[in-house]
Amino acid sequence: HGVFTYDPAFTATCSTQSDITYIDGAEGILLYRGYPVDQLAENSSFLEVAYLVLYGELPTTPQLDEFVGAITQHTMLNESLSKFFDGFHYDAHPMAMMTGIVGSLSAFYHDTTDIRDDGHREIFARRMIAKMPTIAAAAYKHSVGQPKMYPRNDLDYTSNFLHMLFAVPAETYEVDPIAAKALDVLFILHADHEQNASTSTVRMAGSTGTNPYAAIASGIAALWGPAHGGANEAVLNMLGEIGDISQVPRYLEKAKDKDDPFRLMGFGHRVYKNFDPRATIIRGYCHEVLQHLGIENHPLFELAMELERIALEDDYFKERKLYPNVDFYSGIIYQALGIPINMFTSMFAIARTVGWAAHWCEMQNDPAMRIARPRQIYTGSPKRSYTPIDQR
């Protein structure tokens, strides 16, 4: 039967080779296609980074113009798809709606989902990146009972998203450029992270040759959990629960207590055993955004910084190399921008769609690709004979 390696939770198994993202967890380094993420956050736009992640090189001006034009052209949802939202109860979680709606995209594009066709794969990736903000904003509008806003093609990707989220038909809505820039940076920082749980899920589903939109839906489902993308929502709920700086030591003790299920959300990472470089950039942006919005002494930001300070001095966190991760500070920016807590993980999903699509496309070209099929070590009963029900 061959010899298998038992590797629960895949801490030592490389499932693939990939050219997309490089992480050095010990040094806290993150590169997309070789470019440090801090340089991209500083200089680039989300769609330029999307191009880089998908195609492997930074675009020239004509290449970027063509790409942005194509994305803009695909932002609308089919009107029948829009009606799907009406089937959800008003208090459905946006991630629940997104899992369902994105899965249903698989029923719309039969003519362009030949997964062996390069052109079809490209249209899929572009369509997916274009439609995610429209779907996320529609999920929000459904939950607050407001009419859905059509995309505006004169706005850039992130500004258009803020417009679809916050504009209402009866009123004028001006997108705040600093808010749009902050959100764009957050999207850049979440665009890819190599073989994380949701990307591995997309690859696993994709390895069977399933419809790519269905594969992305499986990634959204995996992202939702609090150990992964759901952590940004969990951090804000946790900060709310802690409530006050005076309570920080008590909650740190709870986080250290193995009999207490409480964990410090937004802390720790499977790969980073040093500062998550994304968290450092986001903390800097927190200062800038809060200052711009005139809420410098934001109580949750102060609470988060105090939590970080005390945790980093604590032996428990030092010994286990637990540092703030990407989600520790992102929620504070989302909240300052007026985005409701239950939408935070959808923000992550919009950005990570780039990585999911890039990994799905990469694997279709990989000659080593076969159906992913992990093995197991059987620990159940040995073979036994059926007992009739009256003899049990």
Give the x-and-dash track for 223-262 against ligand CMC (CB under 6 A).
----xxx-x-----------------------x-------
Whole-number minimum distance, CB 197 to ligand CMC, in Å?
7
Stretch touching ligand CMC by CB under 6 A, among 20-28, 96-104, 119-127, 267-275:
267-275
Question: Using the rule CB under 6 A, which residue among 59, 268, 277, 355 binds ligand CMC?
Answer: 268
Nearer to ligand CMC, 59 or 355 (CB): 355
325 binds ligand CMC (CB under 6 A): yes
DSSP 175: P
The whole-angstrom distance between residue 219's C-alpha and the CA centroid of its chain comes to 9
Is 228 tagged catalytic?
A: no
Helix axis angle, 231-242 relative to 299-313, nearest 10°?
A: 100
Interatomic CA distance for residues 275 and 268, integer angstroms: 9
Question: Using the rule CB under 6 A, which residue among 152, 254, 270, 292 binds ligand CMC?
Answer: 270
Question: Using the rule CB under 6 A, which residue among 44, 196, 201, 342 binds ligand CMC?
Answer: 196
Whole-number minimum distance, CB 51 to ligand CMC, in Å?
23
The whole-angstrom distance between residue 281's C-alpha and the CA centroid of its chain comes to 17
Nearest residue to ligand CMC, scored by beta-carbon proximity: 268
353 binds ligand CMC (CB under 6 A): no
Query: 265, 322 in Cβ contact below 8 A?
Result: no
Whole-number minimum distance, CB 193 to ligand CMC, in Å?
7
Nearer to ligand CMC, 38 or 194 (CB): 194
Nearer to ligand CMC, 137 or 265 (CB): 265
Supply φ then ψ for residue 263, to 5 degrees.
-120, 155
Residue from 158, 93, 154 nearest 350 by CA? 158
Question: Using the rule CB under 6 A, which residue among 148, 152, 263, 292 binds ligand CMC?
Answer: 263
The DSSP string of 268-334 is: --SS-SS--HHHHHHHHHHHHHHHHTT-TT-HHHHHHHHHHHHHHHSHHHHHTT--B-HHHHHHHHH
Residues 6+ apart with CB under 8 A from 55: none
Catalytic residue among 269, 276, 298, 359: 269
Name residue 40's amino acid.
L
Whole-number minimum distance, CB 278 to ligand CMC, in Å?
9
Residues 6+ apart with CB under 8 A from 291: none
Query: 241, 262 in Cβ contact below 8 A?
Result: no
Whole-number minimum distance, CB 181 to ligand CMC, in Å?
22
326 binds ligand CMC (CB under 6 A): yes
Nearer to ligand CMC, 179 or 255 (CB): 255
Nearer to ligand CMC, 207 or 325 (CB): 325
267 binds ligand CMC (CB under 6 A): yes
DSSP 267: B
Nearer to ligand CMC, 85 or 328 (CB): 328
121 binds ligand CMC (CB under 6 A): no
Question: Using the rule CB under 6 A, which residue among 83, 320, 338, 375 binds ligand CMC?
Answer: 320
User: How many residues sit close enough to ligand CMC to count as binding (CB under 6 A)?
Assistant: 19
Please report which residue ranges of 113-230 form alpha helices under DSSP H.
118-144, 157-166, 177-189, 197-206, 212-223
Is 269 tagged catalytic?
A: yes
Interatomic CA distance for residues 54 and 95, integer angstroms: 24
For the chain, how many helices (H) and strands (E)?
Answer: 17, 3
Residues 6+ apart with CB under 8 A from 82: 138, 148
Question: Using the rule CB under 6 A, which residue among 33, 181, 203, 269 binds ligand CMC?
Answer: 269
Positions marked catalytic: 269, 327
Residues in contact with ligand CMC by CB under 6 A are 196, 227-229, 231, 255, 263-270, 320, 322, 325-327
